[in-house]
Amino acid sequence: MKPYVAEFLGTFALVLAGCGAIVVDGTTGGTITHSGIALTFGLIVMAMIYALGDVSGAHINPAATVGFWWAGRFAGRQVFPYVAAQVLGSLAGAGVLRLLFSEHVSLGATLPSGSWWQSFVLEVLLTWLLMFVVLNVSTGAKEKGIMAGAAIGSVVALEAMFAGPICGASMNPARSLGPALVSGQTQFLWIYLSAPLLGAILAVLSCCAVQEKGCCTVLPGCCDAGNDVPA
């Protein structure tokens, strides 16, 4: 149960800190700023990787879990419990924000500021880039390297910085699901559930195109060296 508890706690912390930054920024008249929100998301992801990476891999993202599974680096029987733990963590984080800031409308839910297709394409590309980095700095299905947390957290902050004002830069179905359900802002939820999954799958293909070893085990031309899929 420890990996599932770790995924719950990691996703809870992500929503509490990241979406909490959005809520506090709106409540206090922009004191945190957009840059501060982007950095908050990047820093909490980095912190959770260092805190929980050796326990569960600190996926805290269904797209990452599916991406590792698609690459043959994560056991299929663990996908559902991982995703369930992540969703529950997101709901818990959003629930705390609702309790603390009952007057806030969205609770940090991801909503497109332009057209739906613009946000969909951006979310696919953002998740592709994030998962591409994750696959290349991780060992098996775990981010273990000394600089893995810094690299992944930096990508999250970078993408939130430049794309957040347009699409919300979710890159994470769980991060979007909890605030959307708790706040009732579900009209564009389908974008943030489907686009990150597609981006993660494209990242696996891209990783195999540039790595000779250790990227995935299920696609032609990829070697299983360095992977540690559970039996």
pLDDT, tens digit (0-9, with 9 covering 90-100), for 163-203: 999 999 999 999 999 999 999 999 999 999 999 999 999 99
Please report the sign of the dihedral spanned by the C-alpha atoms of residue 127, residue 133, residue 139, residue 144. negative
Tell me how far apart the alpha carbons of residues 94 and 121 are, in angstroms, rounded to a whole number: 26
**How many Å is the maximal CA-CA distance in the chain?**
54
Q: What angle do CA 35, 37, 38 make, to 5 degrees?
A: 65
Tell me how far apart the alpha carbons of residues 66 and 23 are, in angstroms, rounded to a whole number: 29
Print burial letters for 111-121: b (CB count within 10 Å at least 16), e (below 16). Answer: bbeeeeeebbe
Tell me how far apart the alpha carbons of residues 57 and 98 are, in angstroms, rounded to a whole number: 29
Is residue 215 predicted with pLDDT exceeding 80? no
Beta-carbon contacts of residue 50 (< 8 Å; ≥ 6 apart)? 149
Report the pLDDT value the prediction gives residue 10, as an integer from 0 to 100. 97
Share of the chain above pLDDT 70, in %: 88
Reported pTM: 0.90
Phi, psi of 220 (to 5 degrees): -55, 135
**How many CA atoms are closer than 13 Å to the CA of 112, on its beta-carbon side?**
17
Report the pLDDT value the prediction gives residue 217, as an integer from 0 to 100. 59
3-state class of 142 per DSSP?
A: strand
Is residue 100 predicted with pLDDT exceeding 90? yes
Mean pLDDT of 6-34: 97
3-state class of 161 per DSSP?
A: helix
Beta-carbon contacts of residue 33 (< 8 Å; ≥ 6 apart)? 25
Question: Does the domain formed by 2-210 have CATH 3.30.450.90?
Answer: no
pLDDT-based confidence at 214, cuts 50/70/90? low
CB of 104 within 8 A of CB of 23?
A: yes
**Tokens at residue 179, please?**
């605030």
Report the pLDDT value the prediction gives residue 140, as an integer from 0 to 100. 64
* Strand-pair partners of 142: 139
**How many CA atoms are closer than 13 Å to the CA of 40, on its beta-carbon side?**
21
Phi, psi of 173 (to 5 degrees): -60, -35
